[in-house]
Amino acid sequence: MSGNDNRETEWDVIIIGGGPAGSTAATTLAQAGRRVLVLEKSKFPRFHIGESLLPYNRRIFNELGVWGKIESAGFTTKRAAQFILGDDTRGNRLDFSKGSFTEYPQAVQVERSKFDKILLDHSREAGADVAEECMVTDYRIEKDRVVLKYRSLDLADHEVTARYLIDASGLNNFTANKEKLRRYYPTHRKLAIFGHFSNVYMPKGEHEGDILIIRRERSWVWMIPLEENKTSVGLVIDAADFKALGKKPPEVFADAMADTPAVAKRFANAQSLDQFHVINDFSYKNDILASPRLLRVGDASGFIDPMFSSGVMLAMTSGQQGAQAIDAALKKDDPLSAEMKFYEKDNRRRIAIYWEFIENFYRLHFAQIFFQPYNRWGMVCSINAVLAGRTSLSWAVRWRLRAFFLLAWLNKYIPIAKRIDVR
Ligand SMILES: Cc1cc2nc3c(=O)[nH]c(=O)nc-3n(C[C@H](O)[C@H](O)[C@H](O)COP(=O)(O)OP(=O)(O)OC[C@H]3O[C@@H](n4cnc5c(N)ncnc54)[C@H](O)[C@@H]3O)c2cc1C
- pLDDT tens sequence across 362-402: 888 888 888 887 778 888 899 999 999 999 999 999 999 99
Strands 36-39 and 129-131: parallel
Which mutation among 7, 14, 40, 167 tests ligand 1's pocket best, with the greatest number of atoms within 8 A of CB?
Answer: 40
Dist. CA 19 → ligand 1 center (Å):
6
CA-only gyration radius of the chain, Å = 22
176: burial class by Cβ within 10 Å (0-12, 13-18, 19+)?
buried
Which mutation among 289, 312, 387 tests ligand 1's pocket best, with the greatest number of atoms within 8 A of CB?
Answer: 312
Position 363 scores a pLDDT of: 86
The protein residue with its alpha carbon nearest to ligand 1, atom 5, reads: 50
- Contact 213 CB / ligand 1 (< 6 Å): no
Residue stretches of the chain with pLDDT short of 70:
1-8, 422-423
Which residues share a beta bridge with 282? 189
- Contact 235 CB / ligand 1 (< 6 Å): no
Dist. CA 299 → ligand 1 center (Å):
6
Residues in the chain: 423
- Contact 52 CB / ligand 1 (< 6 Å): yes
- Contact 20 CB / ligand 1 (< 6 Å): yes
Position 198 scores a pLDDT of: 97
Question: What dotted CATH number matches 10-75+110-181+287-353?
Answer: 3.50.50.60
- Contact 317 CB / ligand 1 (< 6 Å): no
Evaluate if pTM is beyond 0.75. yes
Q: Which of 102, 104, 103, 95 is CA-nearest to residue 207?
A: 95
Position 6 scores a pLDDT of: 52
- Contact 50 CB / ligand 1 (< 6 Å): yes
What is the identity of the amino acid at 105? P
How far is Cα of residue 127 from the mean position of the Cα atoms in its chain? 25
- Contact 273 CB / ligand 1 (< 6 Å): no
Position 2 scores a pLDDT of: 38
Which mutation among 39, 43, 49 tests ligand 1's pocket best, with the greatest number of atoms within 8 A of CB?
Answer: 49
Position 378 scores a pLDDT of: 85
Query: Could you give the CA distance from residue 122 to residue 389 in angstroms, rounded to a whole number?
Result: 23
- Ligand 1 atom with the shortest distance to the CA of 297: 26
- Contact 135 CB / ligand 1 (< 6 Å): yes
Position 8 scores a pLDDT of: 61
- Contact 298 CB / ligand 1 (< 6 Å): yes
Query: Could you give the CA distance from residue 79 to residue 94 in angstroms, rounded to a whole number?
Result: 9
- Contact 174 CB / ligand 1 (< 6 Å): yes
338-361 helix and 379-387 helix, angle to the nearest 10 degrees = 120
Residue ranges per structural domain of the chain: 10-75+110-181+287-353, 185-282, 355-410
Position 212 scores a pLDDT of: 98
Convert the pLDDT of each residue in 52-110 to its tens digit.
999 999 999 999 999 999 999 999 999 999 999 999 998 999 999 998 899 999 999 99
Position 74 scores a pLDDT of: 95
Position 1 scores a pLDDT of: 37
Cis omega (within 30 of 0) for bond into 45:
yes
What is the identity of the amino acid at 334? D
Specify the fold of 185-282. D-Amino Acid Oxidase; Chain A, domain 2 (3.30.9)
- Contact 167 CB / ligand 1 (< 6 Å): no
The protein residue with its alpha carbon nearest to ligand 1, atom 3, reads: 50
Dist. CA 215 → ligand 1 center (Å):
24
Position 421 scores a pLDDT of: 72
- Answer yes or no: are the C-beta atoms of 51 and 110 closer than 8 Å: yes
- Ligand 1 atom with the shortest distance to the CA of 224: 8
135: burial class by Cβ within 10 Å (0-12, 13-18, 19+)?
middle
Dmax (CA) of the chain: 70
Rounded to the nearest 10°, the torsion over CA 81, 82, 86, 91 is 150
Strands 294-296 and 157-167: parallel
